[in-house]
Structure 1
Amino acid sequence: MLKQRAEVSQYIDFEHVMQADFFLFIYSFLHSTDDYFDNWFPVTTLYATDRGAPFEVFARSQSSSYFKKMKVALGIEDKAPLVELCDKFSRRESHTPPGILGALNLPALPQSKQLQRNLEEL
């Protein structure tokens, strides 16, 4: 339903909704408390599993000048917390609840792969 509504809007592109949803997910895990349900759950990411390319915000983060802006938006000082989070996802130590997103494989998403590659290059 969310995807259908975004597709009929002349102001909102569903691609941007998915990108914002995934960005909020990353942000929430970077700043999460011990309460598992305080995290943002990216429900639109289910539609991103068929994408072959990463979201623009993660593709651009390869540039150190763009990453400087991105880290401000994420509320982090450097890439270390993001590297740690990507490692946790790769080891499946941080994950979304199975009842909400089913078997979503976050490390396999183009967004996650691109982000990890970019962090290695920074």
Structure 2
Amino acid sequence: MSPPLATVGLTEREARAAGHRIKVAMEKVADIVAMPRAYIVEETRGAMKFVLDADTDEILGAALLSVDAQELINTVALAMRHHVTATELRTAIYTHPSSTEAMNEVLGTIVRT
């Protein structure tokens, strides 16, 4: 059994094809220090990836393969719908211990532009 996969919005390839200048934030769940829930339930497999608009900082899409991904994706979709920036989502305060805390760390890590 593997952790759930949840996606919303554009993939990196789709965003580039649509002409967006993008940034990508991605981290393996096992490396996310700010995600204690993954360690509590002993499910550290997977990764989180966010595709961000480099000009507006809005989230264009996300792919979450992690514990609680089916719940986390709702927060990401709501942020996208209401034009909440990646910075705003990254600096939010989340319940502890929860999987949502991972957004604080992952969105602070731009791995590609």
Q: Quick check: which one's strand share is greater?
A: 2
Structure with bigger gyration radius: 1
**RCO (CA 8 Å, sep 6+): is it higher in 1 or 2?**
2
Give the TM-score normalised by structure 2.
0.31
